[in-house]
Structures are given as structure tokens and as C-alpha cells.
């Protein structure tokens, strides 16, 4: 492997060298280079400014906090003395997003495979369009839909899951309800469906014809071709797509805030009413929050930011793990 690295470094060095030589010093070049560099730096500056602002606002509230910020389940930053912790929010966010991902990913990849490989061409373009259109529906509409329509029908589904799979702690509990983390997860799943589906579709379309024909030529059926040539090629793309979906699910605010009924404390039984997430909590509480309350909410936002960052890093690690084969 050391020889490979050697080659890479060598190529890298050559690229840098040509990169310098390509800049001829003409005015157009100079303007373009500074514009590009400026945009790049600007992103970093904005990110840093946001982080600094959030920390600056969060620290005073954290100093006044009487409870353990990371492990406490209560959220009373407006009380005196303020007591707040993110345990419940983190639980609700992670569980609802992961569940949404588990529901959405197979469906989204199924849609992408269908539009790419199974649907007649006349159907596949309109179908992709409609799926993409799901992304254009405002999240408040999803929230209304989830609250007014879906939650009513989720009652039966939840009771069924509770009866059939009640031995799994997540689906346990005595009173499966409508406004549960599970209902929120279903709404989230529909919301992240289009992004996972359309990115997967883009990846599948790019699978080289040669790979597909290689599979066909050894007598693979359509599904076997997908398994041999398409899915392995699209693997990192699908993981990336799922992670974007997960990011969106974790950050989703209003739809979740509308669906969930607030009940304090972590409840492992996700079919029962209650639960909250970082974003939903911020949306619900920010208006009536005191200065400390706002600081507390900002601190919780920071945590959400860190979790999202960790998810992305984990995804990159997964993608990079089998790089030798891609």
C-alpha cells in the first residue's frame, strides 16, 4: 500500500504545480482566483461567526443552570433557579430521525430503482418529478397533515405494532397514542423521502453501462444486475443520501412540533404520546423564553449542530472504509 500512497502524493504534487502554472497572471484570472478564494473563505467566516455567536449566547445560561445540561431530562430554563438538560430532546431527536431513516431509506431506494430500471420510460420521468415535488411541499403543510389526518390513522397502526411487537421495549407501553414519536417519525420519513430518492436516482443513472452489461452478459436477471452492478456502485451515494436525509430529519422543526404532544421525561415507548426534539422544542419555547431560556435553547441548538456533525463524520468514515474498491 505504501507504493500507492507514493503515487498519490506524486500526482497531488503535480496537480499543485500545474495549478500554479495555469494562472497566467492576466486580469481575468486574478479576479476569478480572488473571487473563488473569497467565497471559500466567506463560508468559513460565516460558520465561525455562527458558532461564536451561539456559544456567546449559550454560556451565561449554562452557567446559571442548576441541573446537568447533558443528562437532565427536565427543561425549565425559565424557572428560578433554571434547571434544564437535553437528555429528553436528544433522545427524541435521535430516535425519531433514525426511525424516519429506517422507514424512508428502503422506500426511497425502491422508488429510485423502479424509476431507473423497472418503470416504462413514459412513466419514469413523471414519477421522478412527482417524488421530487414532495420536497417542495412546505413543512407546515406536512405538520398540518400529520396532525389532522395522519395521526388519526396512526392510532390503529400503533395499536397493532404494540400488540404484535410489544415485547420490543421501543414498541411497548400500555397506551399507544396518536401524537407519538412514532407518528412524527412517519411524517419525517415522508419528508426525507424525496431527497434520498432523488440522490440515489442520480447515482444509479451514473452506473457505467459497462458494469451493467458485464452483469447481464454472465446471465444476471434484472434484480441480479442491480445487486451485482448497481447497488455496489451506488453504495457510497446511497449512504450519502441517507445521511442528508437524516440531517434533514434531525433539523426538522415545525412538522414535528405540531405532531408531538409534550409530555415531560424520556419515554422509551415511542408509540405513546409525548416526546420532543431539539428543533421542535426551540420552535415551541423560544417565543415565551426569558433571557436564560433563550440561552438554554441556543445551547440545545449547539448540541444539535454537534450531533449532525458527528453523523456526517460517521457517514464519511463509512464511505471511506472500502475506498480501495471504489
- Rule CB under 8 A: choose which of 119, 216, 283, 319 binds another protein: 216
Take residue 182 and report the three cell numbers written for it.
412514532
- The piece of 84-92, 143-151, 186-194, 223-231 that touches another protein (CB under 8 A) is 223-231
Query: How crowded is the C-beta side of 307, counted as CA atoms within 13 Å?
Result: 27
Residue 274 phi/psi, 5-degree rounding, is 120, -175
By rule CB under 8 A, what string of x and - marks binding of each residue 69-108 to another protein? ----------------------------------------
Q: What is the DSSP string of 79-132?
A: SSS-EE-SHHHHHHHHHHHHHHHHHHHHHHHHHHHIIIIIS-HHHHHHHHHHHH
Q: Determine contact, residues 241/203, Cβ cutoff 8 Å.
A: yes
Q: Determine contact, residues 281/205, Cβ cutoff 8 Å.
A: no
Q: Decide if residue 214 touches another protein (CB under 8 A).
A: yes
Q: Decide if residue 326 touches another protein (CB under 8 A).
A: yes
Q: Decide if residue 8 touches another protein (CB under 8 A).
A: no
- Rule CB under 8 A: choose which of 215, 243, 255, 289 binds another protein: 215
Q: Decide if residue 229 touches another protein (CB under 8 A).
A: yes
- Rule CB under 8 A: choose which of 168, 219, 288, 317 binds another protein: 219
Q: Determine contact, residues 53/65, Cβ cutoff 8 Å.
A: no
Query: Which of 305, 297, 303 has the alpha carbon at shortest distance from 60?
Result: 297
By rule CB under 8 A, what string of x and - marks binding of each residue 303-322 to another protein? -------------------x
Q: Decide if residue 174 touches another protein (CB under 8 A).
A: no
The two beta strands, 75-76 and 83-84, are antiparallel
- Rule CB under 8 A: choose which of 69, 233, 246, 276 binds another protein: 233
Question: Which chain residues interact with another protein by CB under 8 A?
Answer: 121, 208, 210-211, 213-221, 224, 228-229, 232-233, 235, 322, 324-326
Amino acid at each position: 500500500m505504501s507504493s500507492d500512497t507514493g503515487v498519490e502524493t506524486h500526482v497531488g504534487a503535480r496537480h499543485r504545480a500545474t495549478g500554479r502554472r495555469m494562472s497566467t497572471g492576466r486580469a481575468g484570472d486574478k479576479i476569478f482566483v480572488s473571487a473563488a478564494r473569497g467565497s471559500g473563505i466567506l463560508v468559513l467566516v460565516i460558520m465561525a461567526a455562527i458558532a461564536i455567536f451561539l456559544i456567546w449566547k449559550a454560556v451565561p445560561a449554562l452557567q446559571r443552570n442548576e441541573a446537568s445540561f447533558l443528562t437532565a431530562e427536565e427543561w425549565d430554563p425559565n424557572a428560578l433557579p433554571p434547571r434544564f438538560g437535553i437528555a429528553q430532546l436528544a433522545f427524541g431527536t435521535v430516535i425519531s430521525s433514525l426511525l424516519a431513516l429506517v422507514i424512508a431509506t428502503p422506500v426511497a431506494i425502491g422508488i429510485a430503482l423502479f424509476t431507473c430500471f423497472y418503470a416504462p420510460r413514459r412513466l419514469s420521468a413523471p414519477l421522478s418529478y412527482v417524488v421530487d415535488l414532495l420536497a417542495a411541499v412546505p413543512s407546515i403543510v406536512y405538520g398540518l397533515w400529520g396532525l389532522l389526518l395522519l395521526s388519526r390513522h396512526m392510532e390503529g397502526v400503533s395499536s397493532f405494532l404494540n400488540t404484535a411487537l410489544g415485547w420490543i421495549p421501543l414498541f411497548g407501553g400500555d397506551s399507544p397514542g396518536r401524537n407519538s414519536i412514532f407518528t412524527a417519525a412517519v411524517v419525517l420519513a415522508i419528508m426525507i423521502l424525496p431527497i434520498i430518492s432523488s440522490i440515489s436516482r442520480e447515482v444509479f443513472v451514473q452506473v457505467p453501462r459497462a458494469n451493467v452489461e458485464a452483469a447481464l452478459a454472465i446471465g444476471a436477471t434484472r434484480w441480479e444486475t442491480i445487486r451485482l452492478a448497481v447497488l455496489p456502485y451506488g453504495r457510497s451515494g446511497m449512504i450519502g443520501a441517507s445521511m442528508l436525509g437524516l440531517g434533514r430529519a434531525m433539523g426538522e422543526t415545525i412538522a414535528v412540533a405540531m405532531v408531538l404532544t409534550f409530555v415531560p421525561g424520556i419515554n422509551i415507548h415511542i408509540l405513546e404520546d409525548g416526546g420532543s426534539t431539539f428543533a421542535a422544542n426551540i420552535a415551541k419555547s423560544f417565543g415565551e423564553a426569558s433571557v436564560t431560556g433563550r440561552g438554554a435553547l441556543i445551547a440545545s441548538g449547539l448540541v444539535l449542530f454537534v450531533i449532525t456533525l458527528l453523523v456526517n463524520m460517521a457517514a464519511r468514515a463509512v464511505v471511506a472504509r472500502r475506498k480501495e474498491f471504489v
